[in-house]
Amino acid sequence: MGIGALPGVMSPEFGNALILIDGVAIGLFVLIFYAAKIAAGSSRVLKLLGVSVLISRFRLWRLTHKAH
């Protein structure tokens, strides 16, 4: 038994499901392809926003402004 009313004809619901599956597959492919770049960028951001870095920057800022 074929999908749809006639053999070889695809129903609109099945076509929409295939489009959704294709979109998810392409998204996963892009995510895997750029995973190294995403990881490198996020680690740089985490380093910039790290607590110890923020505390050290605040201490440096405080020392420079106390000198005035």
Residue 40 lies in a domain: yes
Neighbours of 3 (CB within 10 A): 13
Q: What is the pTM of this model?
A: 0.45
Per-residue pLDDT for 31 more than 70? yes
> For 42-53, what is each residue's pLDDT tens digit?
777 777 777 777
Residue 55 lies in a domain: yes
Residue 17 lies in a domain: no
Residue 23 lies in a domain: no
Confidence band of 25 (pLDDT split at 50, 70, 90): very high
Residue 35 lies in a domain: yes
Number of domains in the chain: 1
Q: What angle do CA 20, 21, 27 make, to 5 degrees?
A: 90
**Residue-range definition of the domain harbouring residue 41:** 30-68
**Dihedral angle sign, alpha carbons of residues 32, 33, 36, 41:** negative
Residue 65 lies in a domain: yes
